[in-house]
Amino acid sequence: MAWLRFGGVGLVAVFVCFLLLNLLFPLEVNLSYSPVITAADGTILHSYLSKDDKWRMQLEPDEISPVLQKAVLLKEDKYFYFHPGVNPVAMLRALGKNLVQGKTTSGASTITMQVARLLYPNERTYWHKLTEMFRALQLEWRYSKDEILQLYLNLVPYGGNIEGVKAASLLYFQQSPRQLSLAQAVALTVIPNKPSSLRIGWQNQKIVAFRNKWLQYFARQEAFPKEALEDALQEPLNAQRLDAPKIAPHFAYRMYRQHPQEAIIRTTLNLAVQEKVEQLAYNYLQQLKYRNIHNTAVLVINNQTNAVEAYLGSADFSDALHGGQVDGVRAVRSPGSTLKPLLYASAFEQGLITPKSTISDVPIDYAGYRPENYFGTYSGNITVEQALATSLNVPAVKLLDRIGVGSFVQKMKQAEFSQMKKNGDQLGLSLILGGCGVKLEELTALYASFARQGKYVPVRWLQQDSLSAAKQLLSPGAAFMVNQILTQLQRPDLPHNAVNSAHLPKIAWKTGTSYGRKDAWSIGYNQKYTVGLWVGNFSGEGVPELNGTDTATPLLFSIFNTIDYNSPNHWFAPPVSIGTRSVCVASGLPGNSFCQDLVTDTYLPGISPATKCTHLKKVPVSLDGKFAYCTSCLPEGDYQLQWYPNHSPEILTYFVSQHLPYVSLPPHNPACSRIFQEYAPLISSPTAGMEYLLEKADHQKLMLQCNPHNEVKKVYWYVNDQFLSASRGNAPVFFEPEHAGKLKISCLDDQGRNTDSYVTVRFLD
């Protein structure tokens, strides 16, 4: 009994000594792993060297296949799960052999001791062996057996700067460790014994011989099925060191920079979709480079999960000549017309317009800012849906002026447009035509909101990202109205060769072209996907042939036809907040008694305008039709009531300038003494409050022009209260100032209504 007590005391003393040494020399496991970026299915997209310049990829527990685990344990430490980190039986056996032969011929290192040696590499001496044993006990104290085995498989050397089974499996066999065959697993088991002399690609025959020696040993041990061992013995080893995968390099680098502490960055990227997008974009760009167009960027978002499934920063990352390493998804570019759907949706939900409402498309001046349409032509009165479908600029600017730039900027801030948060308060009406900066990822996320009935949700990049709470950016009804318009095929931004296409995707889409033809956009969506696409040159060089219709949209169609072929088209079902009504074709408002042509329009009950149509007005005129009367000069019985078009002054000016025929009111009764202040002429040029710099030597002139009421036949111009000239209502008059300074411009119409405007003139020296 005394020896038992003595043994117990001894064990306690050893344990106390271990605890003391553990406090004095704590175990430190600070491994630097190679950051690995994976796709949604776990496939490695990209990897980077560890901080100590090693290819050392962290192995996940489910990547250790039973075959690999069994082969390692049988070869290195078959009692691994039974000893405390040190195998005393193996140590005594090895010591005996070494003493008999007078040299070290057999080792007794357990897997745990090998992990200790890999963590704390030193020369092989008896002292260092004792140190390894102490560290092995520390490892067993802190970690489970499975964790220690995982550490071992993460650290074993494979020559050069390759460490760990995962890095070796990927760089030599281009696959995950869980997919290794028996022959491959055993090959990776034997190489760490002599990593410098057994290097795949250089000594494959020696590796096969060493591998087969162990396979034969496993056969004698009946460790694996006989057929599997026979196949493994016959399996050739043709492997060599390959480069790490470099799929989606822009995306991978972005994730690496955003998550620098993560060894495994699990993203939402869909490898199949990514590869298809990459191939389509690369091939498409080969056709464009002959037109001096060299770059494109694509982003694909899954509308159900809000996950990024494809991310293409540029079509050719290696194209250094044309900035292939620039990430076009994050680049700030001019959006062209791509913000118009958000503008129209905002106007719908504010009750300003409906799809069939009419809006004027005529030249207009906003304090010197004169927007023009893409083709330089104008349409007069046009429906809202036509204005959006044909992407007209002037109606969009007019609509933004009604909504207010500040209100629209606030809406863009809600949609997380970064440049709006920085300098949105400094922008003006040109914002809607591309006079701001946006990113492809921001536009794509915005358009995804239309596919979700107006709900905006931040994009998911990583698998662990939760679905953020959606915010209602737009009302479902407003989003539906835009969807209806953007799914129309009778529109000018349908690619010219698309009408001959065998299959057009069932999507809603919008194009955009920036000023100077530097950016071509096409963004589309259906129930499943939103795809954003930019084409241009990262250098900022414009190209005359560059436009969203023919440069970007063909690739958009190809991507949809590849990743979501023959998708259903019933996804744009109307929400409960939408109603339908009959409206007058001429105005888009509910029909009046005189409205003959009606059409069905969608609207938001209680929100959309409900005023009756007034495109015609009943006017009392003389029996011979030469004069019109007002209530003050209406004769008794000697007149007739007739219907006349109720045109706005700007439309009348447009008719005159384009020499278009129109029905005008007869002149007002000249015998009437009443002076009307309502409907005074609007001075459209020069712009009130502006300063004009003129070349006096060149006799430069100012143009005077106004928009008078329908019944006005003549106007009279005054400068500083001095009569200048009389002209037809809409005709321009030119005036050469004699002196610099402030000028008062006055316009008096033949009804006695007057308007004043003030400008300043300066002469250039």
Q: Which residues are known to be catalytic?
A: 76, 337
Longest dimension (CA), the chain: 142
Which residue carries 């491994």 as its tokens? Answer: 31
The candidate with the shortest Cα–Cα distance to 607, out of 695, 481, 523, 492, is: 481
Tell me if the bond preceding 686 is cis, omega within 30° of 0. yes
- Could you give phi then psi for residue 97, rounded to 5 degrees? -60, -40
The Cα–Cα gap between 144 and 138 comes to: 11
Query: What Å distances lie between residue 693 and 43, 371, 703, 743, CA to CA?
Result: 65, 21, 14, 13
Q: What angle do CA 192, 193, 196 make, to 5 degrees?
A: 70
Residues in the chain: 765
Which residue carries 């390692």 as its tokens? Answer: 72
SS3 state at 239:
coil
Amino acid residing at 674: R
Q: Is 130 exposed, middle or buried (0-12, 13-18, 19+ CB in 10 A)?
A: exposed
The Cα–Cα gap between 607 and 352 comes to: 8
Q: Are 456 and 511 in contact (CB under 8 A)?
A: no
The Cα–Cα gap between 83 and 3 comes to: 24
Query: What Å distances lie between residue 469 and 300, 420, 457, 460, 489, CA to CA?
Result: 21, 22, 7, 12, 34
* Residues 6 or more apart in contact with residue 235 via CB below 8 angstroms: 181, 183, 184
The Cα–Cα gap between 384 and 623 comes to: 39
What are the tokens at 491? 């529109």
Query: Quick count: other Cβ atoms within 10 Å of Cβ 12?
Result: 10
What are the tokens at 395? 């109606």
SS3 state at 146:
helix
To 10 degrees, the CA torsion angle through 210, 215, 219, 221? 80
Adjacent-strand bridge partners of 534 = 297, 521
The Cα–Cα gap between 712 and 295 comes to: 55
Amino acid residing at 465: D
* Residues 6 or more apart in contact with residue 361 via CB below 8 angstroms: 373, 378, 379, 380, 381, 382, 387, 392, 394, 395
What are the tokens at 673? 């003494």
Which residue carries 């990547």 as its tokens? Answer: 63
